[in-house]
Structures are given as structure tokens and as C-alpha cells.
Chains A and B, each alone.
Chain A
Amino acid sequence: MRLALYIGRRFLFLIPQVFLISFITFVLVRLLPGDPARLSLGPLAPESSVEALRAKMYLDRPIPEQYVIWLENAFQGDFGESWVNNTQVADDLISRIPVTLELIFLALFVVFLVLVPLAIITASRTRNWIVRIFQNVTFGYGMLAGALPDFLLGLVLIFFLFAGAAGLMPAEILPGPEGRLGILDFEPPFVTGSILIDSLIAGDFEIFWSGFMHLIMPVFTLSFVYGAPIFKMLRSQMEGALKADYTTYAEAVGLAPTIVLTRAARVAAGPTLVITGVVVMFLLGGAVLVERVFNYVGLGQYAINGIVTADYAPIQGFVCFAAIFTMLVYLAVDLIHFAMDPRIKIGGTQA
């Protein structure tokens, strides 16, 4: 009941939020320098044809009207056309969104597989040698991950593994920064857009393996850099929870160590979850840079190209997607947090 009320309330806000997002994006993109009609036709085209194109793109109308037109089209799945590539933005997005999401979610998966257990172990109050070793290792990790920019880590990896004579890694074992697949590999038929899933659907294990190997470096880079905030938050929250009165009391009552630990972890999970939501948003930006470094053809590259060439429609499509995606992630995080923590009030707005 409490949860249903909260969900209803949040979804009520979601609709105006999405409109606000689309409007901000729209205005922002209209402010980009350069006349799209002129850019599209080139500097030598006669003014008359530029005028004609401008009218065709509704650029001669006032901004609110343009927005309404854009919105109408967007509802029909038409996000405009890139004048650089002459492709439908909607198609581009559909083929590229899964690529980037695959990167992001695999990175998160690795974070939860490796860093979350590490955070819990190192927060432990018992000081045996295993904990000590982990504490020393993760201490170094914490230092390093906070300071290494994602693109720099990517470059460093490329340099040490693949660059010229210094390259330590034979290409047969781990492929270099050549994108999603090797140059001789064929993409599997498009179903979901995820290389791993699509190749499995096609039953092509060779492509699956190649796609997997090509994912290792970008996913490692992303999870190394963006796992740090999650790791640090969870560790400090866990340390706090294990020191807290309620943990001592749970021990004094004689509860089993696993219950004591899970109950402490439950308290630590809330803030960690919130940080994870924020990290997903940063991962989207991080994917932009990492895709660039590893020549991975995803949304990020798409956005960079759009911005560099002042290509309205792709930027708009990307920013809009990214904002709505983040919004939904925040919403999911808030809902889970709300379900987990009875202290959050229905009307309340936890950070």
C-alpha cells in the first residue's frame, strides 16, 4: 500500500519531467552555433535552396512551434534526420543504444561481482591477515581509481598492452582497440543489439567469444574507474554500520554472525544504492570517452560526432535518451530505496 502510493506519486511526476527534459534539450540544441540548413547543403549552395530547406525543416518557425512539431514527430517515433549521415536518428539510436547499455551494465555487473564483496570484507572489524591483505590492495585501488581519468586508464592500457614494441599482449589473446569485433568478424543479425546476446541467439560462439574479448578492455576500464565511488561508499557505510550500537546489540542478543552482518549490510545498502544511481549516469558520460578510446561504435561516439559537426537531430536524440534513461534509473533507485527503508516518508524526497 505504502509502496503503491509512492510509485503512483513518482510516476505522476515522471511525465512533466520527461516534457521538461525534452524542452530543455530542444532549446539547448537550437542554441548550437551554425545554420543546419546551410551546413547541410554546404557553403556553395545558392541561398534560395537553403531557404527552401530551412522551410522544410521548419527552421523559419518560432521556437515553441518548432518544439511542438518536433514533439509530434517524436511521438510517432521520428526523431529527425542526421544531415551529416542522412540517416534516421531513431534507427541510429536503436542500433547504438544497446551497444552502450551493454558496456554500462557489464561494467556495473563487474563492480558488483568484484568490488562489492571486497568492500564488505575490508569494512570488517576483525583484523586477520586475509582482511589485512584485502585492505592493503583496496587501499591502493581507492587511491588510484580516484585519480585516474577513464580515458587515461584506457590509453595506458592500450600503450602497455598493444603499443608497438612495448606491447605485452599478443593480439591472439586479447584484441587491441579495434571496436566491438575484429575486422574479419561479421556482426550477428540484429535482434537485441547486444553483441553477446545476438551472437548467442545466432548460435555463433566464435563471434560471441570475439565480442566478449573485445568487451574486456572497455568494461574493465569503466568498472575500475566508476566502481570506486560505489566501493568507497559501501565500505564507509559498512564500517559505520558495523560500529553502530545496533550491531553491538545484535551481537549481545546472540544473533548469528550472518544475520548480524546482513542486517548491518541492509543499512549500508541504502546510500550505496543512491550512489549507484548517480554512477550509472556518470557511466553514460564515461562510455562516451571510453568508446572513443577503444574505437567502440556506441552512443558516445555518435554524440561526439554530432556535437563536433553541429548535427542537431542526433544530439537531440542522444541527450533526450540519456536524460530519460537517467531519470528512469533514478526512479528505480528511489523506488528500491523506498521499499528498503521504512524511514523514508511518502511525501519525503530523500536525496
Chain B
Amino acid sequence: MVWLRIRRTLLALPKWQLAVLVMFFGWIFLTFFGPYIAPFPTEVAEPTTRLLPPSGTYPFGTDENGIDILSRVLAAPRTDVVIGVVATAISVLLGAPLGVIVALYESRGGAGSTAFAETFMRVLEVIQSFPVFVFAMVLVAVFGGSVTNIIIAIAFVNTPVFVRIVRSDVLSLVQRPFAEAARAVGNREVRIGFRHVLPNALPTVIVQVSVTVGFAILLTAGLSFVGAGVKPPTPELGAMIASGAKFLEIGQWWAAFFPGIALGLIVFSFGIFGEIMTQVMEPRAVRRETDRRREHALETGGDEPEVPDAPTVTVSRMREPVLTVEHLGVAAVDSRQPLLSEIHLALEAGHSMGIVGESGWGKSVLVKSLLQLLPPELAVTSGSVRYLDHDLLTMSKGSMRAMRTTQIAAILPNAKSQLNPLTNVGDMLRSALQAHEKIRAKDAEVRSIELLEMVGIVDPAQRLSAFPHELSGGMAQRVCLAMALMYHPKLLIADEPTAGLDVTIQRQVLDLTRTLAEEAGTARLIITGDLGIAAHYCDTVAVMQAGRIVEINETERLFDAPRHPYTRHLLDCVRV
């Protein structure tokens, strides 16, 4: 799996990054073999060849001791890179486990663990508050400027960084569903920490490692530059730059220039290497592949000839439709992969239509394209979306904005993640009201309380100051519902309105939605993976497969006499 990802990442890399990768391995090579391939001795002064400009014999010139600069640059990674890598490795190996342990202990709760965690963090803060550079300088001055001491100093100042990063990552990760799941299955806390949570914190750690290695190399060079690091004659870039800097102003530029370039390139290639590693670590990098699978499915799935995929809804009693979608197609912008094609829909005023299908067949893309909220990577390629007699696709952003909520309202999946974590319920409602009418904050508050009452929230005045993380999923969904229905819109588009809610709450929320919408005469388009919801709450149901609508019919007819094999397949799944 990892190898696959590495290969995929490498293939997807831009050319220049590949070049940097090659350079990175070049530096690694020099770290191992640099001193052996240097054409001249690197530590023996040669007074006769002092400060010679670059020439055929000495491509980078010679330094103040008459030593070939090229040879010293080739030999220097042995010092700089080893110090950076070893020091970073030590700080990760010390810091990461410590961070996990602290976080696990902390997340157990209780007064003892909070007190411990707080004290621990404050002590860590003390260590971190010593300016890294000066602290390393003092450490080196105390223990002497040997390579080992520099490594110890740099590892010491970097360890707290990893403790902090891992701790805060683990703290947020242990709350996530997968850790809960691992706990529910009966894993022990420590095991969860190291087996389930730490790997998820790994991307952050690896990014930090790449930053830290580069930083440690810079620190080494900086220390040597001010004379508190590696001492001459050991080939070390910072010290070389320092000794060359004296001659810079009189025009003898090469002595500081080439080591400087080398230092910059080393740090640069380590940084890019880190970025490439991040891409490798990020499982989302695999996503393009799944998209391709979808495209493939779209080609084969859509070509099934058994049933013509023309909509078969009985339109005899159709009055003026609220929403009309014709020939709608959506594709990815850069790869031109079609995600939706030939979507036809018509939704009558006050009616409700369900769109069902397994996840991954483009239901949410359809919602986003109807709402004009497609991410920039996706674009409508054909067809039209009409609301009453407005063409939504050609409408200006401003007029579309004015129609949102007032005429076309949206409910999007997982209400808790739809609410900005730093905006409380009251502000959210007030800004939604103020976006569409001139209303004073005081009046908006009164209205907000009424709205929360309408959706059955107990103690609405209190809830105004609640932040999303303080709400339950059902409560957040009700807040979203209140916002969706505050202007009695003609059309409500609800994407998985019950995702993440437990079954009793699902029923409550859906019943409430139906009641309120029917009172207001709002037409509903409900996108769901749950056939039961569609059967219970929708007048018509459309079945989506592979980015197409394969069957559309009145609910009862569709369930009694499914025509398309995919519909039958879906129904079979439920009935088993």
C-alpha cells in the first residue's frame, strides 16, 4: 500500500520536484561518500594557493587557507546533514512517544490528569521559551563545540516541539470516531494511542521532521557562523561562509558564495523532500484513482441497454414546476471526467422528490450543481437548471445570493460540520437574517429565538450563545433547519439531512421538516442513501447510478414495479 502510494506520488510529481528529489539523494550520497570523492585534501592548509578565484583546477576557487572550496563543499554534508538528521531523529524518538503518553494520560480526564498535563505543558513551555539559537549557543559553549555536543544541543531544543505537536494531534484524534471505534472494540488505551492514533498523527510528524531537519542544518550552520559551533578545520558550511564573509566586501566572493549556495540547496531539497513525503503520507492522494473508477463505471453503467434511461415520471398533473433540470452534465475541470450526465428532473411546487442511490454516484455533486456551489475543480458542462423562470446557471452571483434561503434553501449533510466552529448559534442566525433583510441586532435576536422555538429547541434564548461543539447532532440539524425555513422558501434541497443522527432523531427531524415545509408550501428535494426515508417522505423518487438518473417514478409505483435493474438491485438489498 505504501509502495503503491509512493509510486503514484512519484508519477504525479511535477518535473522540477523530481529534479529536487534527485538532488536530495545527491546530498545523501555526499553525506556518505563526499569526503572520499573530494579531489583535494579538505583540512590541510596550502599557503601558496590562498584565495584563488575559480579556475579549471579549482572550480569553486580556494579559501583563505588555500584549500580547494569544491572539495570542502563536497565533504561538508558529512558534518551538516549528519548533525541535522541525527539531532532530529533523537528529538522525534524522544518527543513523539512522550507526546502520546501525555495526551493519553490527559484524555483520561479527572482532576489529577489535567493538573499533570497543565504542569507538564508549562514546564515544557519553560524549556521552549529559551530562544533556540541562544540556548544552543550556551549549551555548545558549556559542553564544547564537538559534533556530539552540537547534536545533543539541537536535539534538546527540538524535542519539546515534537512533544507538543504529537500531544495536540493525539488529543484531537482520540476524540475522532475511529479511535472511539477502537475503544469500543475493546482495545486498551495505550494500544489505541500507538496503534490507531499515532499513525494518524504521522503525517504531521513527518512534515515537522522535514522542517526540523532543514532547521537543524540551518542551526548548525548558524552556530558555526558565529563561532559557537563546529570549529575549523572540519569542513562545515556555516563556518566556511563565516570565513568567506570577510572577503565578500572586497570582491572575493567565491569563498562565501559556493558554501552559501550549497547550504541553501541542502535545506531546500530537504524541505521539498518533506513536501513529497507529505503527499506520500496523505491517503487522499489516492483519490484521483477512485475518480477514474467512477468514470469507468459511468461509461459501462450508463450503457446498459435493458431500460431506456428516459425519465418515466407521469407528468399529466404537473403544474408549473419549481425546479427544472434538463440535460445537466458536470465534469472535472482538468481531467474532463464526466461526473454527471443527462440529468433530467422536474419538481412541482409543494411536492417532495427523493434521490436515492449508493454513495459515490454523484448525488452530492448534483446538489452542489443545483445550488451553484460546485468547487472550482468541477464545472457544469451542459444542460440547464431552472428555478421557476430563472436560469440558475447564467444568473449572477449576487442575484443568486439574494435568492438563497429566501427562495432556495439548503440543508447539507452533518449539520455540526456545516456550522462554523467559532460562530455561535445566535451570530449565525443573525447574520443569515441580516444577509437578506435590514434588521437590527435586537430584532434579529427575537426572530432567532422564534425560529429556534419553531424547530422545537428547548430553551432557545440560552442556545443562542452556544457554539457548534456544544450542540448535539440533532440540535445542530434543527438549527440548520431553522435557517433553511426562516423565509418559507419555495424550494428546499436537503442533502443527506439525517446523516450522523440516530434513528429516533432522524424521524423527529424529518417529520418536523415535512410539517414545516408543508405549512410553508416548500417543495423538497431530498437526497438520501436510505430508501426507507425516500419511501416515507417523498412523492416521487429518482434513482441515481453512475452519475445518471436511471429511473424516476411516483414513489409507490417505483417501489411496487421497479423497471431498471439497478433499482431492483437497490430494493433487493433493503428487502433481504
Contact residues in B for A149 (Cβ distance below 8 Å)? 218, 221-222, 263-264, 267
Given A149-B263, A166-B253: A349 and B373 interface contact (C-beta under 8 Å) = no
Quick check: which of A52-60, A88-96, A155-163 contacts chain B, the rest being far away? Answer: A155-163
A147 to chain B, nearest CB (A): 3
Sample of 13 A–B contacts (CB below 8 Å)? A21-B130, A32-B142, A127-B376, A143-B271, A163-B250, A245-B418, A248-B373, A254-B405, A263-B423, A285-B133, A289-B225, A319-B131, A342-B469
User: Chain A residues in contact with chain B, CB under 8 A?
Assistant: 13, 16-17, 20-21, 24-25, 28-29, 31-33, 125-127, 143, 146-152, 155-156, 158-159, 162-166, 243-256, 259, 263-264, 266-267, 281-282, 284-286, 288-289, 292-293, 303-304, 307-308, 310, 315, 318-319, 322-324, 326-327, 330, 340-343, 347-351
Q: Which of A16, A147, A307 contacts B138 (CB 8 A)?
A: A307
Q: Which chain B residues in 328-342 approach chain A with CB under 8 Å?
A: none
Closest 10 CB pairs of A and B: A285-B133, A254-B404, A147-B268, A351-B168, A164-B251, A326-B129, A249-B418, A252-B410, A349-B121, A246-B420
Contact residues in B for A13 (Cβ distance below 8 Å)? 118, 122
B44 at the interface (CB under 8 A from A): no
Q: What residue in chain B is nearest A351 (Cβ atoms)?
A: B168
Given A125-B376, A155-B260: A350 and B168 interface contact (C-beta under 8 Å) = yes
Q: Which of A156, A348, A351 contacts B260 (CB 8 A)?
A: A156
Cβ of B226 and Cβ of A304 under 8 Å apart?
yes
Q: Which of A33, A243, A285 contacts B375 (CB 8 A)?
A: A243
> Is the contact region of chain A dominated by helix, strand, or loop, or is it mixed?
helix
Given A33-B142, A252-B412, A281-B129: A289 and B222 interface contact (C-beta under 8 Å) = yes
Cβ of A164 and Cβ of B249 under 8 Å apart?
yes
Cβ of B125 and Cβ of A289 under 8 Å apart?
no
Q: What residue in chain B is nearest A151 (Cβ atoms)?
A: B225
Cβ of B404 and Cβ of A252 under 8 Å apart?
yes
Contact residues in A for B404 (Cβ distance below 8 Å)? 251-254
Residue with the highest number of chain B CB atoms closer than 10 Å, among A127, A245, A304, A318: A245
Given A125-B376, A146-B214: A266 and B422 interface contact (C-beta under 8 Å) = yes
Q: How far is the CA of A149 from the CA of B368 in the complex (A)?
A: 46
B571 at the interface (CB under 8 A from A): no
Q: Which chain B residues in 23-64 approach chain A with CB under 8 Å?
A: none
A327 to chain B, nearest CB (A): 4
Q: Which of B218, B241, B248 contacts A158 (CB 8 A)?
A: B248
Contact residues in B for A164 (Cβ distance below 8 Å)? 249-251
Cβ of A32 and Cβ of B431 under 8 Å apart?
no
Q: How far is the CA of A259 from the CA of B431 in the complex (A)?
A: 8
Cβ of A155 and Cβ of B165 under 8 Å apart?
no
A306 to chain B, nearest CB (A): 9
B69 to chain A, nearest CB (A): 16
Residue with the highest number of chain A CB atoms closer than 10 Å, among B123, B164, B167, B245: B245
B159 to chain A, nearest CB (A): 14
Q: What residue in chain B is nearest A299 (Cβ atoms)?
A: B134
Contact residues in A for B128 (Cβ distance below 8 Å)? 281, 326, 330
Q: How far is the CA of A325 from the CA of B421 in the complex (A)?
A: 32
B521 at the interface (CB under 8 A from A): no
Given A254-B432, A351-B167: A17 and B126 interface contact (C-beta under 8 Å) = yes
B346 to chain A, nearest CB (A): 22
B102 to chain A, nearest CB (A): 10
Contact residues in B for A248 (Cβ distance below 8 Å)? 368, 373, 412, 418
B265 at the interface (CB under 8 A from A): yes
Cβ of A351 and Cβ of B164 under 8 Å apart?
yes
B141 at the interface (CB under 8 A from A): yes
B137 at the interface (CB under 8 A from A): yes
Contact residues in A for B432 (Cβ distance below 8 Å)? 253-255
Q: How far is the CA of A125 from the CA of B137 in the complex (A)?
A: 44
Q: How far is the CA of A243 from the CA of B373 in the complex (A)?
A: 11
Cβ of B264 and Cβ of A158 under 8 Å apart?
no
Contact residues in B for A20 (Cβ distance below 8 Å)? 123, 126
Cβ of A162 and Cβ of B249 under 8 Å apart?
yes
B345 at the interface (CB under 8 A from A): no
Cβ of B419 and Cβ of A330 under 8 Å apart?
no
Q: What residue in chain B is nearest A284 (Cβ atoms)?
A: B131
Q: Which of A16, A289, A343 contacts B226 (CB 8 A)?
A: A289
Cβ of B218 and Cβ of A315 under 8 Å apart?
no
Contact residues in A for B241 (Cβ distance below 8 Å)? 151-152, 155
Q: How far is the CA of A53 from the CA of B421 in the complex (A)?
A: 63
Contact residues in A for B133 (Cβ distance below 8 Å)? 282, 284-286, 288-289
B546 at the interface (CB under 8 A from A): no
Q: Which of A17, A24, A159, A251 contacts B122 (CB 8 A)?
A: A17
Cβ of A126 and Cβ of B267 under 8 Å apart?
no
Contact residues in B for A159 (Cβ distance below 8 Å)? 248-249, 253, 256-257
A138 to chain B, nearest CB (A): 15
Q: Which chain B residues in 110-158 approach chain A with CB under 8 Å?
A: 114, 117-118, 121-123, 125-126, 128-135, 137-139, 141-142, 144
Q: Which chain B residues in 151-202 approach chain A with CB under 8 Å?
A: 164-165, 167-168
Q: Which chain B residues in 76-120 approach chain A with CB under 8 Å?
A: 106, 114, 117-118
Residue with the highest number of chain B CB atoms closer than 10 Å, among A152, A249, A285, A315: A152
Q: How far is the CA of A244 from the CA of B84 in the complex (A)?
A: 36
Contact residues in B for A259 (Cβ distance below 8 Å)? 431, 435
Q: How far is the CA of A246 from the CA of B256 in the complex (A)?
A: 51
Q: What residue in chain A is nearest B429 (Cβ atoms)?
A: A253
Contact residues in A for B421 (Cβ distance below 8 Å)? 246, 267, 341, 343
B483 at the interface (CB under 8 A from A): yes
Contact residues in A for B218 (Cβ distance below 8 Å)? 149
Contact residues in B for A351 (Cβ distance below 8 Å)? 164-165, 167-168
B414 at the interface (CB under 8 A from A): yes
Cβ of A327 and Cβ of B129 under 8 Å apart?
yes
B371 at the interface (CB under 8 A from A): yes
Contact residues in A for B424 (Cβ distance below 8 Å)? 342
Cβ of B125 and Cβ of A343 under 8 Å apart?
no
A345 to chain B, nearest CB (A): 9
Q: How far is the CA of A343 from the CA of B373 in the complex (A)?
A: 28
Cβ of B483 and Cβ of A253 under 8 Å apart?
yes
B13 at the interface (CB under 8 A from A): no
Q: How far is the CA of A156 from the CA of B421 in the complex (A)?
A: 45
Q: How far is the CA of A350 from the CA of B118 in the complex (A)?
A: 10
Cβ of B435 and Cβ of A319 under 8 Å apart?
no
Given A245-B418, A307-B137, A318-B134: A323 and B129 interface contact (C-beta under 8 Å) = yes
Given A33-B142, A288-B134, A319-B134: A147 and B265 interface contact (C-beta under 8 Å) = yes
Q: How far is the CA of A162 from the CA of B248 in the complex (A)?
A: 10
Residue with the highest number of chain B CB atoms closer than 10 Å, among A16, A146, A288, A307: A146
Cβ of A326 and Cβ of B131 under 8 Å apart?
yes
B395 at the interface (CB under 8 A from A): no
Q: What residue in chain B is nearest A343 (Cβ atoms)?
A: B469
Contact residues in B for A348 (Cβ distance below 8 Å)? 114
Beyond A254-B432, A288-B133, 20 extra complex contacts between A and B, CB < 8 Å: A13-B122, A21-B130, A162-B249, A163-B251, A166-B251, A251-B373, A251-B401, A252-B410, A253-B405, A253-B410, A264-B420, A292-B226, A293-B245, A304-B137, A307-B141, A308-B227, A326-B131, A347-B114, A347-B118, A351-B168
